C-alpha cells in the first residue's frame, strides 16, 4: 500500500478507535493528524504546531466567540424567555399549543444566536417543565425541541456558516442569505410533522389570552425582535461584516439584558463570560485539531482520490450531489457538525465545483446535512443536551425525535432533487 493509502487508513481507523474509547474529538484529530504526518514522512513538531495555530488564526472566526456570548447573554438576560412568552400568548391556547410555541420560538431564537446547542438548552430548560406539567408526552416533546434547536445552524446568523466560509473560502454573507428560506421551510416542516403527531395525542386545551395580553407580551419581546433585523439588515446593507455583526449582536444583547430588562447585573457578567469562554474553547480547539488533520489529508491527496472515485459522476451534478449527501448522512451519525465541516468540506467542495454545482448552494446543503446529524443517533449532540436538561434517557429522546428526523430528511431530499428551491430565493435576496 502506498504511503497515501496508509495515511488515509490510519486516519479512518484512528478516528473510529479514539472516538470509540471516548477521547475528546479535538485531541483525536491532532493525534490522527500526527500519525498521518509520520507515515507520509512529514513528521515535524514545528509543522504540527504551526497548523494548530493556523486553525484558529482567522479574523472571520472571531465571530464564533461573540455569537456564543450573544446566546449566553440572551439566556441570562431573559431575552429567550420573552420570546417564548410571546409565542405562548399567541398560539398557546391551540390544542398542542406548546409544541407550536416551541417551533415558533426555535425559529425566532435561531435568528439571534446561531448556536444549536444554546438554543436547544434554552428551549428545553423553559418548555420541557411546562410540557410535563400539562401532560405532554415527554419523548415526543423532547424530540420536537431537539428538532427545533437545529434550525439555528441554518437561519442567519449561523456559527457553522462562519466556520464553513472560513474553511472553504466561501462568502459568509452569501451563505447567511442562502439559509433564510431553507430555515423557514424547516420550521414549516416541523409544523406539519407536529400536526401529524397530534392526531394520536389527547392533550388539554389552554385558555385563550385576551388581545391586550398578547400585545403586552409582544411589546415585552420587542427588543429581542429587533436583534435579527439589526444583524441581517446591517450585513445586507454593508454597514458591517458577519464578524462585526457578531460583536454588534453581543453588545446589543448585553445592553438589553443590563439596562432594559434588568434581569442581569454586572456581577452576573463574569459567570456568563466563563460559560461563553468554555464553549468557545471547545469550538476553537476543534478548529485547531481539524487543521492538522486537514493539512495531512491534503498532503495525502485525498481530494484527488475522491475525485477519482466520483469522477464518473462529474457529468451528472444532481446524482453526484445525491451521493455526497448520502455519504454525509452516514458521517453525521458519528461526527459532530463542526469537525465534519472542518475535515470534509475542503475535500468535497472542489469536486462539487468541478461538476458545476453552486458553491453557496453546496455549503447550505453541507451544513443542513450536518445539522440533521446533530439529532441522528447514535451520537446526536443535541439529543444529549435535551436528555440532560429534561432528565430523560437517550433512548426515549431518540424515539421521540424520529417523526421530525424523517421530516428533515424529506426536506433534504427535496432540496437535492430541486436545487432551485434554494438557489432561486438566494438570487432574489442577494
- CB 53: neighbour CB atoms within 10 A? 10
Q: Dump the DSSP string for 1-48.
A: --HHHHHHHHHHHHHHHHHHTT--HHHHHHHHHHHHHHHHT---HHHH
| Entry pTM | 0.89
Percent of the chain with pLDDT over 90: 45
Separation between Cα atoms, residue 92 and residue 262, nearest integer Å: 26
| CA atoms in the 13 A half-sphere facing the CB of 312 | 2
| CA atoms in the 13 A half-sphere facing the CB of 332 | 23
Is residue 251 within 8 A of residue 257, CB to CB? The reply is no
Predicted confidence at residue 205, as pLDDT, reads 67
Give the number of domains in the chain: 1
- Note the pLDDT tens digit of each residue in 317-363: 999 999 999 989 988 887 889 888 988 898 899 889 989 999 999 99
- Note the pLDDT tens digit of each residue in 246-279: 899 899 999 999 999 999 998 999 999 999 999 8
Is residue 186 within 8 A of residue 408, CB to CB? The reply is yes
Residue 409 to residues 190, 326, 339, 402, Cα–Cα distance (Å): 12, 11, 21, 11
What is the Cα 50 distance to its own chain's centre? 28
Task: Give CA angle at 52 (46, 55), nearest 5°.
Answer: 140
Domain hosting residue 280, numbered range: 3-429
Separation between Cα atoms, residue 299 and residue 334, nearest integer Å: 24
Separation between Cα atoms, residue 168 and residue 129, nearest integer Å: 41
Give which of 8, 60, 75, 397 is closest to 224, Cα–Cα: 75
- Note the pLDDT tens digit of each residue in 105-146: 999 999 887 789 888 988 998 999 999 988 899 999 999 999
**Residue 275 neighbours by CB under 8 Å, 6+ apart:** 72
Is residue 341 within 8 A of residue 164, CB to CB? The reply is yes
- In the three-class reduction of DSSP (H, G, I as helix; E, B as strand; rest coil), residue 377 is classed as coil
**Residue 370 neighbours by CB under 8 Å, 6+ apart:** 153, 160, 328, 332, 337, 340, 341
Task: Give CA angle at 141 (140, 145), nearest 5°.
Answer: 115
- Region 1-29 average pLDDT: 79
Amino acid at each position: 500500500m502506498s504511503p497515501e493509502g496508509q495515511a488515509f487508513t490510519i486516519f479512518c481507523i484512528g478516528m473510529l478507535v479514539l472516538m470509540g474509547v471516548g477521547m475528546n474529538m479535538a485531541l483525536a484529530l491532532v493525534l490522527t493528524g500526527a500519525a498521518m504526518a509520520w507515515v507520509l514522512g512529514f513528521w515535524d513538531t514545528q509543522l504540527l504546531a504551526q497548523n494548530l495555530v493556523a486553525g484558529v488564526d482567522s479574523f472571520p472566526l472571531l465571530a464564533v466567540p461573540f455569537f456564543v456570548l450573544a446566546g449566553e447573554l440572551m439566556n441570562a438576560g431573559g431575552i429567550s424567555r420573552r420570546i417564548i412568552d410571546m409565542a405562548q400568548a399567541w398560539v398557546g391556547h391551540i390544542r398542542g399549543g406548546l409544541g407550536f410555541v416551541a417551533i415558533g420560538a426555535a425559529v425566532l431564537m435561531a435568528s439571534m444566536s446561531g448556536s444549536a446547542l444554546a438554543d436547544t438548552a434554552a428551549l428545553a430548560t423553559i418548555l420541557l417543565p411546562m410540557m410535563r406539567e400539562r401532560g405532554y408526552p415527554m419523548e415526543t416533546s423532547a424530540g420536537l425541541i431537539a428538532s427545533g434547536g437545529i434550525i439555528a445552524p441554518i437561519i442567519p446568523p449561523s456559527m457553522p456558516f462562519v466556520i464553513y466560509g472560513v474553511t472553504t473560502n466561501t462568502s459568509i454573507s452569501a451563505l447567511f442569505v442562502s439559509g433564510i428560506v431553507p430555515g423557514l421551510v424547516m420550521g414549516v416542516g416541523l409544523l406539519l410533522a407536529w400536526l401529524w403527531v397530534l392526531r394520536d395525542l389527547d392533550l388539554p386545551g389552554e385558555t385563550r389570552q385576551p388581545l391586550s395580553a398578547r400585545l403586552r407580551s409582544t411589546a415585552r419581546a420587542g427588543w429581542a425582535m429587533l436583534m435579527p433585523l439589526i444583524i441581517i439588515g446591517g450585513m445586507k446593507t454593508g454597514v458591517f461584516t458577519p464578524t462585526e455583526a457578531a460583536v454588534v449582536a453581543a453588545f446589543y444583547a448585553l445592553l438589553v439584558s443590563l439596562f432594559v430588562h434588568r434581569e442581569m447585573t454586572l456581577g452576573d457578567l463574569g459567570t456568563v463570560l466563563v460559560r461563553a469562554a468554555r464553549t468557545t474553547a471547545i469550538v476553537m480547539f476543534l478548529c485547531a485539531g481539524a487543521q492538522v488533520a486537514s493539512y495531512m489529508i491534503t498532503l495525502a491527496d485525498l481530494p484527488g482520490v475522491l475525485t477519482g472515485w466520483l469522477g464518473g459522476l462529474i457529468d451528472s451534478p444532481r446524482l453526484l450531489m445525491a451521493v455526497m449527501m448520502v455519504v454525509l448522512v452516514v458521517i453525521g451519525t458519528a461526527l459532530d457538525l463542526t469537525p465534519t465541516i472542518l475535515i470534509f468540506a475542503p475535500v468535497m467542495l472542489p469536486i462539487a465545483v468541478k461538476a458545476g454545482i453552486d458553491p453557496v448552494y453546496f455549503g447550505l446543503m453541507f451544513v443542513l446535512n450536518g445539522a440533521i446529524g446533530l439529532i441522528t443517533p447514535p451520537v446526536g449532540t443535541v439529543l444529549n443536551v435535551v436528555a440532560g436538561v429534561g432528565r430523560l434517557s437517550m433512548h426515549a429522546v431518540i424515539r421521540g425525535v424520529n417523526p421530525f428526523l424523517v421530516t428533515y430528511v424529506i426536506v433534504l431530499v427535496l432540496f437535492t432533487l430541486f436545487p432551485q428551491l434554494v438557489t432561486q430565493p438566494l438570487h432574489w435576496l442577494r
